[in-house]
Structure 1
Amino acid sequence: MIPVSPPDPQLKFTMNMSAFDRRILICTTGMSPQVVTETLFALAVRPSAGQQPWVPTEVHLISTRQGAEHARLNLLSTTPGWFHKLRADYGLPPILFTPEHIHCIEAQDGQPLEDIRTPADNEATADRIAELIRSFSQQESAQLHVSIAGGRKTMGYYLGYAMSLYGRAQDRLSHVLVNGAFESHPEFYYPTPYERVIHTRDPKNPLALDCRNAQVDLAEIPFVRLRDGLPQRLLHGHARFTETIEIANLAHASPVLRIDLRRRSVEVSGLPVALGESGFALYAWLAKRALTDEPEVDWTDPAQWDGEFVPLVRRLFGEFDSVSERIEESLRRNFKERSNETAHYFLPLLSRVNKALEEALGEALARRVQVVRVGEKRGRSAETGSRYRLPADLPIEIES
C-alpha cells in the first residue's frame, strides 16, 4: 500500500477562504486527463507565492467521447483513481466530481464526437463550451476557474473566448505548467507527498524520476470581459457561439436604425427590438424628428406633443383604435391633472424604451441608439425641463 503523508496543517486553516460558496473548476482534456489533477494541485495544495489555496466545490471536464472515457477511467475509477488519490494524499475536502460532470461534445446528430477535425466538429465544440461557461456564469454566488491547458488548441481557444464573453470579475482563466520530463508524461498526475518513481520515455535510456520533485505552476491569463456589452437574452438564454460573437462585434461597428411604421418594428443593425405600443410611438416620433432640422423634442410644448405625437399615434394605430384612445387619454389626463405638465407621462415611457434597447442590444450598442437629454429650461427641474433626442449622426431609415 502506498503510504499517505498527513496533509499540511496550514492547508486546512486557509483552504476555504474564498468568499464564494460554489467554486467551479472547468477543464478541457484530450488524452491527457492529468491536466485536472495538476491544476487542482496548483490551486489547492501549492498555490503561487502570495496566493491563498483555492479549493473547488465541483469539477467539470469537457472532452470528446474517447477523451471523456479516458478521463473517467484514470481519474474516477477505483484504481488508479488519481483524482481520489490526490484528495486523500493532501486531505482535501469533498469535491463533487462524478462521471456526470464529464461533458462529452456532441455532433449535430447528437452523437458523441470521436475527435475534432472538421469545421462542423469545431462549431459543435465552440457551441458546447460557450453554453457551459454561459450557464455556469449565471449564478452570482459562483466563481469559475477555467483551465485552457488540456485538449486540442481549438478547445483552449474557445474556452478563452467563452470566458471573454461570459466571464465576470470573480472568474479566472489559467494554464498549468509542469517542468522537465514530467510534462505530458502519461504516468505523472501530480507531485506526491511521498516517493513515487516513474521513468522517462526514452526506450534506450529510461531514467528514474521521483514525482515528489516535479514542479507544477499555474499561469493566470488575463482576459477582456465583454459580458456587460451583451444583450440579456444571450446571457440568460441559449445562443450559438457564432451568433454571440457576431452580436458582440456589432457594439464596435456603426449602428443602423431601421423603423417600419406599417409593421411597427424597430431593428438596430439587424437586431429586432420590442418596445411595446407606446414605446414604439415615442421612439418613432424621435426618429422622424431626427431626420428633420429640429431633432429635439420638448414634450412640455403642446404644439409638439399635441401637434406631432398624437397625430402620429393615430396614424400608427388608427384614430379610433383602443391603443390610440388609451395613449391619448392618458396623455391628456396627465396634462390636465399635473398643471399642464406632460413630462410625467413621457419620462417613465422613455425609461422603458431605453431599458428595452439595452436588454435587446447590450449596453455598448444600446448606448449609441438610446434617447438622450440635451438641455434644460431655466426655472424647471432637469427632468421636466429638458429636451430629448436620438444621438446625433445616427443613420436612420424609416419605412412608411
Structure 2
Amino acid sequence: MPDRAPADYERRILLLVTGMTPQVVTETLYALCHQHPPFIPTEVHLATTLEGAERARLSLLSDDPGWFRRLCQDYRLPPIQFDASHIHILQDQSGTPLSDIRTPEDNERAADQLTRLVRDLTTDEAAALHVSLAGGRKTMGYYLGYALSLFGRPQDRLSHVLVSEPFESSWSFFYPTPYERIIETKDGKLADCATAQVMLAEIPFVRLRDGLPPALLKGQVTMSAAVAAANRSLQPPRLVLDLLKEEVWADDLNIDVKPTELALLLWLAERVQQGKPEVEWRNVEAANEFLTYGQRILNPYGGDYERMKQALESCKDDNERAKYFGPHKSRLKKAFEEALGKKAANRYVIARSGKRNDATYSCYYLPLEADQIEIRTS
C-alpha cells in the first residue's frame, strides 16, 4: 500500500466510461466527496462514444442544465478541471469517432484506447487515479478495470457507484441535492433528490504493473500485448541461443545482449544440458572454462577476446574473478527484464545456490531444465 492516502496526492484524477447515462459522473463525484476521507478530484476524464460524448456535453457541461457546475456550486467544491478536452471519444481503425461499439473490431479498438488512456494517466507518480466502472457498456467497464489491473499503482483505486431506489436509472437524477428538488422517477412517481442515497463500492483488484516490460509502460501499447506480457511469467520458459546470428530469444522475444554476456549465457546453458552442477566461477578452473566459450563467440584472435582474457588472467584472487563476472550477470538480468518484465525475467536470471556463508554460496547456475534450452549452431 502507498505511504500516503490517495486523497493526499497533488494530482487526483477521476476516470469513467460513460454511455447513455452521464449521470454516473456527478453521482460518482458526489460519492467520492462524501466518503471518509473524501477524495476530491483535481480533474475528471471520460471515455465514451460519439453519442455518449454529446450527452455528457449537453447535460454536464452546458450552461443549462450544467449539472457538473451545479454539483460543484451546491457543495462548494474547489476548482476541478473538466471540459470537452477531457472527453475521450473512442475511434475506429480509420480514426473516425465511434457512435457505438457493435463489432469485434470496435471492441478491440476500444480495449486498446482504454488501455493507453489508463497507461498515460498512471505515468505521473504525483497523481492518484480513481477509476469508476459505473457507466458505459459492460465490455467497456471490463476493459477499463482490466487496464487498471495492468497499470495500476498502490495509490490507484477502482469503484462502482450505487444509487438508491427510485432514483437509479432515472434521467432526471444527477446527485442528491442539499435542498428539495422534486423529479419524476422512471416508474412515474415523484421523489425528492435530497432523500437519495449514493454509495461508493470499492472494488479490489490485482496490480500487475511491476511484472510488465518497461517498454509497455512507455511506448504504444495494446491490451492484447499487455495481457500477453502479464501472462508470460505463467508459461514454461524457453531459451534459444542462436550462435550463428549471435541472438538470444526468450518466450519468442529477442533479448539484446552483448557478446560477452552471450558467452556467459552459453556457458551456463550448456552446463544445464550436460547435467553439470553449479559452477564456482571465482576459481581459476572456471575462468579458464569460460574463456573457451569466449572463443566460440568472439574472434579468438581479435581485440575483444584478448581484453576478456587479459581481464581474467590479471585477477589476483577469487574475489577479483567474482568482480569480473558480476557486472555481466547484472547486464544479462537487465536485458531480460527490459524485454520480458521483472516477473517473467526471473525464470531466466542467473541464480546463486546456497545461503550466505555456505561453501556453495558463490556457485551459479541457470534455473532452467535441459529441454527448455535450444542452442542453434547452424
The bucket for the TM-score relative to the shorter chain is over 0.9
The 5 A counterparts of 1:122-133 are 122-133=107-118
- Residue of structure 1 aligned with 2:59, choices 74, 87, 90: 74
Q: Distance in 1 between matches of 2:355 and 2:51?
A: 67
Which residue of 2 is the match for residue 37 of structure 1? Answer: 26
1:201 and 2:186 aligned: yes
Shift of 1:328: 2.8
- Residue of structure 2 aligned with 1:390, choices 341, 360, 366: 366
1:223 and 2:202 aligned: no
Contact 1:262 1:316 in 2 (8 A): no
1:113 and 2:98 aligned: yes
- Residue of structure 2 aligned with 1:312, choices 284, 293, 306: 293
Which residue of 2 is the match for residue 349 of structure 1? Answer: 328
Matched residue pairs, number? Answer: 372
Contact 1:286 1:295 in 2 (8 A): no
Shift of 1:243: 1.1
Q: Distance in 1 between matches of 2:222 and 2:356?
A: 48
Deviations along 1:128-182, one digit per CA (max 9) or x if unpaired, are 1111111111222211100001000000000111111111111110000111121
* SS of alignment partner, residue 209 of structure 1: strand
Unaligned runs of 5+ in 2: none
Contact 1:164 1:223 in 2 (8 A): yes
RMSD, aligned α-carbons: 2.0
Which residue of 1 is the match for residue 305 of structure 2? Answer: 324
Contact 1:372 1:389 in 2 (8 A): yes
Shift of 1:339: 7.1
Q: Distance in 2 between matches of 1:246 and 1:169?
A: 22
Deviations along 1:59-105, one digit per CA (max 9) or x if unpaired, are 11000111112111211111111111100010000011111111111
Q: 1:379 to 1:98 in 2, by over 3 A?
A: closer
Shift of 1:379: 9.3
Query: TM-score under structure 2 normalisation?
Result: 0.93
Contact 2:349 2:367 in 1 (8 A): yes
Shift of 1:303: 2.4
* SS of alignment partner, residue 67 of structure 1: helix
Shift of 1:244: 1.1
The 5 A counterparts of 1:1-400 are 18-44=7-33, 46-47=34-35, 51-202=36-187, 206-306=188-288, 308-333=289-314, 335-336=315-316, 341-375=320-354, 386-393=362-369, 395-400=372-377
Shift of 1:330: 2.9
Deviations along 1:331-365, one digit per CA (max 9) or x if unpaired, are 333x14x5783111001221221222223212221
Shift of 1:305: 1.9
Matched residue type, 2:340: L
Shift of 1:200: 2.1
Matched residue type, 1:396: I
Unaligned runs of 5+ in 1: 1-15
Q: 1:378 to 1:70 in 2, by over 3 A?
A: closer
